[in-house]
Chains A and B, each alone.
Chain A
Amino acid sequence: MSHMVENRRLGRIAALVLLGVAVAYGIGGATIEYAFSSDPLGPRAMPVMLAAVLAGLSFLYLAWPGSVEAIPTGPALVRILAIPTILVLSVMLFEPLGFAGSIFVLTFGVAMIFGAPVKYALLGAAGQTLLWWTVFAYVLQVYLPTGSLFG
């Protein structure tokens, strides 16, 4: 029962966040600057209408939050957040290390997050890097950066 109450609370928080998005979007839409428009509505009308619709729906959602899956906490949350973190890290390495280096970091990191033993994670990362590099750079001729560190 307390789990249900907690989930409803989370649903209401989500509804309030969406209401906040609607308000911010509506204000942003109402203050769009433009010199002219060849139609009677102009560029502001659609955003303002959508903001009003989202606000209305958010109120309905607030009243009937329905089922919401609980947000994981503790180590489970850390593991989940590690995925976007490792993605950000590998993208930051994209230009200095090149595609191959950053993809190795990405595949190794994600394999570790998913609980692969280090040896398998290393082998998997090396294999995937080689596979994807061959497929895209050589077979499909897609331009991929080689990395500034490696010229």
Chain B
Amino acid sequence: MNLDYLWQGFGVALTAQNLLIGFIGCFIGTLVGALPAIGPINGIALLMPIAYTMGLPAESTMILLAAVYCGAEYGGRISSILLNVPGDAGAVMTAMDGYPMAKQGRAGEALALSGIASFVGGIIGVIGLAFFAPLLSGLAIGFGPAEYFVLMIFAFATLGSMVGSQPVKTLIGCTLGLMLATVGLDATSGAYRFTFNEPELGDGIEFVVLVIGLFSVSEAMIILEHQGRGMTVVRDLGRMTARMSDVVKSMGATLRGSLIGFVVGVLPGTGASVSSAVSYTTEKRISDREGTFGKGDVRGLASPEAANNATAAGAFVPMLTLGVPGSGTTAVMLGALMLYNIQPGPMLLVERPEVVGGLIASLFVGNFILLALNLPLVNIFARVLTVPNWLLVPGILVLSVIGVYSTHASVFSIFLMLGIGFAGWMLRKAGFDMAPIILGFVLGKVMEVNLRNALAISGGDPSILFESAISITLWVMALAVAVLPFLLSRRQKALLLKPTETVEDSHQ
């Protein structure tokens, strides 16, 4: 296996400028993750246009955003443990045992132990990424337009079946994203689509406008709505180091969580929320013989925390090699690459090894920075939880406005962002997740171009979509991930109903 790109990447990541950028990103990311109000997507969405406007090269921007992403995965545990309110979706399961530990006066231990688990998960994830990226990239070089189109279908099928409890809403979100991607000039025919004679929509809806509108503006409205719902910060942190016995006891759970997290992260369309839930339930099944999970068991804390950090690295595999994001956050990062006119896919490793290698190497270095930041400074990060909303939310909104204005210098874009933000709030009220919309949007143009190219090659014959072995495999996989969870849940329901039916039968 050729790992030259990785050594080249370390050369990029270890320059003084990129080390500093990585450090700043890790610091900001941990703060962003610690705040229950803003998750990694919001942090990246707000920083992306600023990095672009500052004229940072693509590899430095990706290093910054990746550091924010990983930092947020570390930081998410702080509010989960101290507040019982997850900093991001991936930290939901961390609260299950982290918060009970904090209530027992072991908050400092829980923070230190979860910091170690995050580090192990992050490093295992990065090693997996470094080895799998070239392998998958090599496989994907054989993909033509038809295979790419089917790959997108597979990504949406995975998303629909694995994210959230309401697959119909997830798929509606994807479709809305795909629809938004059709706005603007159609390059093949020169036709303007859905621009309503507005010249500023000629190039389509700008990614920054959509992502900031959906995540930051609607988030401000949600925060206001939820304001006043009782949250109690655990202030007595207790001992600030992890006990060696706890580290040893939780090591198996950490390693298993890391592997599960990486594998789930590689699947297109899934994210840390899925991996941490899968790893927690798996660990509970394997280890919870005394019924201590949910009551402050260190294994219940370490497993999901390792998983969500491994997922962050795993999610880069499909994004960098196939151009299909592994999570909502990597969908936003894919959009950041597009700002630099870089199209992720199998050729990225060949054409821009410094971007891929630099990103992977910076993730490796970043995990060491994050461990160094998170063990001694966790007390300082915990204080960010006391920032009042009346100071925090105006700051988020100012960054949103500057982010959009600095990229486009257009008031129209800001109004569009507000409109999208309002629509996002309505959708969130109706129980829709925003990440599928972003995923649909970033894949929309590529999906349409590949479908049209495939049909142009076949002279309009749709059977080209089912011809190659790769396409057929992807169709089968898409069908399996779409149908299997449905069949399994039906089987589970049937098993649960069986004893009741027997009782009823006996009465008849």
> Interface residue tally of chain A, by bracket?
35 or more
A41 to B430, CA, bound (A): 34
Across-interface contacts of B389 in A (CB, < 8 A) = 114
Do residues B182 and A47 form an inter-chain contact, with CB atoms below 8 A? yes
* Shortest Cβ distance from residue B353 to the other chain A in the assembled complex, whole angstroms: 29
Q: Which of A121-141 contact B (CB under 8 A)?
A: 121, 124-125, 128, 132, 136, 140-141
The answer to whether the Cβ of A43 comes within 8 Å of any Cβ in the partner chain is yes
Q: How far is the CB of A150 from chain B (nearest CB, A)?
A: 17
Q: Which B residues are CB-close (under 8 A) to A67?
A: 166, 431
User: CA A90 – CA B175 in complex, angstroms?
Assistant: 33
B-facing mask of A54-81, CB < 8 A → 1, else 0? 1001101100101111011000100110
Contacts of A87 in B (CB 8 A): 217, 397, 401, 418
A4 CB–B CB distance under 8 Å = no
Q: Interface readout for A1-27 with B: 1 if CB under 8 Å, 0 if not?
A: 000000000110010001000000100
Which residues of B have CB within 8 Å of A114?
224, 227, 388-390, 393
Stretch at the interface among B93-101, B241-249, B446-454: B446-454
In the complex, A57→B432 CA distance in Å?
A: 13
A43 touches B431 (CB 8 A): no
Would A66 and B166 count as touching, CB distance under 8 A?
A: yes
Question: Interface digits, B416-431 against A, CB 8 Å rule (1 contact, 0 not)?
Answer: 0010011001001111
Q: Given known contacts A40-B460, A143-B409, is B390 in contact with A88 (CB within 8 Å)?
A: no
The answer to whether B421 touches A66, judged by C-beta atoms less than 8 angstroms apart, is: no
B189, A107: Cβ atoms closer than 8 Å? no
In the bound complex, CA of A128 to CA of B396 (Å): 11
Q: Are A80 and B221 in contact (CB under 8 A)?
A: yes
B388 near A110: Cβ-Cβ < 8 Å: no
Residues of A within 8 A of B169 (CB): 61, 66
- B394 and A136 contacting across the interface, CB-CB below 8 Å: no
B:112-166 near A, CB below 8 Å = 165-166
Contact yes or no, A36 B189, CB < 8 A = yes
Nearest opposing residue in chain A for B460, CB measure? A40
Contact A10 B191, beta carbon cutoff 8 Å: no
Determine if B401 and A91 form an interchain contact, defined as CB atoms under 8 angstroms apart. Answer: yes
| CB-nearest residue of chain A to B193 | A32
Is B92 among interface residues, defined by CB-CB distance under 8 A? no
Q: Which 10 A-B pairs have the closest CB atoms?
A: A40-B460, A34-B191, A116-B390, A114-B390, A107-B394, A43-B186, A37-B189, A39-B456, A34-B189, A14-B430
Task: Give 23 A-B contacts (CB < 8 Å), ordered by A residue.
Answer: A28-B194, A35-B190, A36-B189, A46-B178, A46-B448, A46-B451, A51-B179, A68-B429, A72-B225, A80-B425, A84-B217, A84-B421, A91-B415, A103-B401, A110-B390, A114-B389, A125-B394, A128-B391, A128-B394, A128-B398, A132-B398, A136-B402, A142-B53
Q: Residues of B at under 8 Å CB distance from A?
A: 50, 53-54, 165-166, 168-169, 171-172, 175-176, 178-179, 182, 186, 188-191, 193-194, 217, 220-221, 224-225, 227, 388-391, 393-395, 397-399, 401-402, 405-406, 409, 411, 414-415, 418, 421-422, 425, 428-431, 448, 451-453, 455-456, 459-460
User: Could you tell me which A residues sit within 8 Å of B by CB distance?
Assistant: 10-11, 14, 18, 25, 28-29, 32-43, 45-47, 50-51, 53-54, 57-58, 60-61, 64, 66-69, 71-72, 76, 79-80, 83-84, 87-88, 90-91, 94-95, 99, 103, 106-107, 110-111, 113-116, 120-121, 124-125, 128, 132, 136, 140-144
